[in-house]
Amino acid sequence: MFTDSHCHLNFPELRSQLPDILQAMSDAQVTRALCICTTLEEFEDVYGLARDHAHLWATVGVHPDNEGIQEPTLDDLLQRAARPRVVGIGETGLDYYRLGDRSVADMAWQRERFRTHIRAARQTSLPLVIHTRSASDDTLAILREEGGFASAQAAGLPTATGVFHCFTESMEVARAALDLGFFISFSGILTFRNAADLRDVATYVPMDRILIETDSPYLAPVPYRGKTNSPAYVPWVAKQIAELKGLSVESVAATTSRNFDVLFAHVGQPA
């Protein structure tokens, strides 16, 4: 019924109690989840979850916040993306939130990493899972530069597609993402009392472009805020969207799951 489009089941908070997590998902009618990779070092663990569980899937990518880890080359991403049950590239993007004493100019390495992921997505025709925080202008600019939305379309070549995950940006950024053909995914943040502006964005985004997620083990929705999040809580995100849209929770579950199938089109293909 429900699909959690972004979670981190390999993180210690969840991996250590995986049987209980999977049972809670089943009890909550969360029938599928996408396990997101954030470093090449953890890829085998993420991939193993998808390999060993028919209702789990995997991505390959290096999170923009991660430093001091193996820097991904295009070939690194392409080789791993070729494995069965790997259905996306990311989590990737830009994050300027923790600059410290650095300037935006100092983050050139992060922008080049993002470009590498976009090139991998275009070569594999897999969707990007995009993280952007305090960096939306550069995120959109690089997507436009690397995504091939003009030259590739004219030549009949693949363009970038994907999802802006755990969306917390402005209405303007949402419009720009939609104009580029991207989906927008909402997390438990949507249920927070101080998220009125974000609820306005969710009201605006068409249902055929919305995904739901937990980003677990982080960002548990109300009424579990402050606790360890899990895919079993994604129905609370669907409930909030249903209230905003004047729809039934069942309708939101069905539509967002269908959107997941549209975006991650490799799901369901033979392993």
Q: Work out the average pLDDT over 67-78.
A: 97
106 pLDDT higher than 80:
yes
Is 176 a member of any domain?
A: yes
Is 184 a member of any domain?
A: yes
Is 233 a member of any domain?
A: no
Least confident of 82-86, 117-121, 157-161, 234-238: 157-161
Round the average pLDDT of the chain to a whole number and report it.
Answer: 95
Is 271 a member of any domain?
A: no
Q: Give the pLDDT of residue 100.
A: 87
Count structural domains, the chain: 1
Percent of the chain with pLDDT over 90: 92
151 pLDDT higher than 80:
no
Residue by residue, DSSP assigns the chain as: -EEEEEE-TTSHHHHTTHHHHHHHHHHTTEEEEEEPP--STTHHHHHHHHHH-TTEEEEE---TT--SSPPPPHHHHHHHHTSTTEEEEEEEEEE-TT-TT--GGGGHHHHHHHHHHHHHHHHHTPPEEEEEES-HHHHHHHHHHHS-TTHHHHHT-----EEE-S--S-HHHHHHHHHTT-EEEE-GGGGSTT-HHHHHHHHHS-GGGEEE---BTS-PPTTSTTSPP-GGGHHHHHHHHHHHHT--HHHHHHHHHHHHHHHSTTTTS--
Q: Give the pLDDT of residue 270.
A: 44
Is 27 a member of any domain?
A: yes
* CATH number, domain containing residue 210: 3.20.20.140
Domain that holds residue 137: 2-219+240-263
Is 94 a member of any domain?
A: yes
pLDDT band at 155 (very low <50, low <70, confident <90, very high): low
Is 35 a member of any domain?
A: yes
Is 235 a member of any domain?
A: no
